[in-house]
Amino acid sequence: MNKIVKNAKEAVEGIQDNMTLMLGGFGLCGIPENSITELVKSDVTGLTCISNNAGVDDFGLGLLLHKHQIKKMISSYVGENKEFERQLLSGELEVELNPQGTLAERIRAGGAGIPAFFVPAGVGTEVAEGKEVREFNGKEYLMETGLTADFAIVKAWKADAYGNLIYRDTANNFNNMMASAGKITIAEVEEIVPVGELNPNEIHTSGIFVQRVFKAENLEKRIEFVTEQE
């Protein structure tokens, strides 16, 4: 079993207009840079993108926004992006904001075959509008639904040809759940090691969830706010 493909271009093959994509990362940490660059080149449009954030003006998902390739975003926090703001206010872009933990759990549930579940986040707020509210043990909860995608694109640190993945530090974030929720999951990784070299005890994402793996080239790994000791 060999899931390794040559490059980003081969990895994103089959992504078409109006599809739903999941893209891993928190801010610019752990985002699939090469795949985003390839999507920008491809001119695919009308995308629904499920991603915690929307990148910044000139990096990450901001690049796709700039070319009007995204129709809708499902996110929890979309600050720090002027083009996003402009498109949202002008009505060019549709946005669904979810509480971050709800978004994470919707993706986890989708990947795990769970169509809906109940959470306390958002009860009594505008997030609750149109959603079923049910009481358990005297407390109110909202029904939220699982999310899946045509393609999930994740960024990992190490992978093998079976698609087993390990993430580094806080670059895991949404990647691990998203890997399980794509009909096709693409893993963009820093290093591909021979099968058997990853310690099975340390694998975060099992290969069963991953269909394509490629080694990323020239990662910029931009930092949004460099903060150091004075």
Partner 1 sequence: MALDKNGIAKRIAQELQDGYYVNLGIGIPTLVANYIPKGIEVILQSENGLLGIGPFPEKGKADPDLINAGKQTITAIKGAAFFDSATSFAMIRGGHIDLTVLGAFEVSDTGDISSWKIPGKMVKGMGGAMDLVASAKNIIVATTHTDRAGNSKLLKSCTLPLTGVKCVKKIVTDLAFIEVTDNGFKLLERAPSVSVEEIVEKTDGKLIVEGDIPEMNV
Q: Which residue, 70, 111, 101, 99, is CA-closest to 87?
A: 70
Q: Does 171 bind partner 1 (CB under 8 A)?
A: yes
Q: Does 57 bind partner 1 (CB under 8 A)?
A: no
Q: Give me the half-sphere count of Cα atoms (radius 13 Å) on the Cβ side of residue 209.
A: 26
Q: How far apart (Å, rounded) are the C-alpha atoms in residues 172 and 193? A: 19
Residue 128 backbone dihedrals phi, psi, to 5 degrees: -80, -10
Q: Does 169 bind partner 1 (CB under 8 A)?
A: yes
Q: Which residue, 181, 212, 155, is CA-closest to 11?
A: 212
Q: Does 124 bind partner 1 (CB under 8 A)?
A: yes
Among 43, 91, 115, 126, binds partner 1 (CB under 8 A): 126
x-marked contacts with partner 1 along 146-165 as a string, rule CB under 8 A: -----------x--------
Q: To the nearest whole angstrom, how small is the minimum distance from the Cβ of residue 17 to partner 1?
A: 26
Q: Does 187 bind partner 1 (CB under 8 A)?
A: no
What does each C-alpha distance from 32 to 60, 68, 122, 173 come to in angstroms? 8, 19, 30, 13
Q: Does 189 bind partner 1 (CB under 8 A)?
A: no
Q: How far apart (Å, rounded) are the C-alpha atoms in residues 2 and 176? A: 20
Q: How many residues bind partner 1 (CB under 8 A)?
A: 55
Residues in region 201-220 near partner 1 by CB under 8 A: 204
Q: How far apart (Å, rounded) are the C-alpha atoms in residues 115 and 26? A: 25
Among 127, 192, 193, 203, binds partner 1 (CB under 8 A): 127
Q: Does 227 bind partner 1 (CB under 8 A)?
A: yes
Q: Does 198 bind partner 1 (CB under 8 A)?
A: no
Q: To the nearest whole angstrom, how small is the minimum distance from the Cβ of residue 137 to partner 1?
A: 13
The three-state secondary structure class of 61 is helix
Q: Does 16 bind partner 1 (CB under 8 A)?
A: no
Q: To the nearest whole angstrom, how small is the minimum distance from the Cβ of residue 220 to partner 1?
A: 9
CA 15 to chain centre: 15
CB-based contacts of 91, cutoff 8 Å, min separation 6: none
Q: Are 4 and 213 in contact (CB under 8 A)?
A: yes
Among 12, 21, 63, 107, binds partner 1 (CB under 8 A): 107
Q: Does 97 bind partner 1 (CB under 8 A)?
A: yes
Residues that bind partner 1 (CB under 8 A): 26-30, 52, 75-79, 85, 88-89, 97, 99-105, 107-108, 119-127, 157, 167-177, 204, 221-229
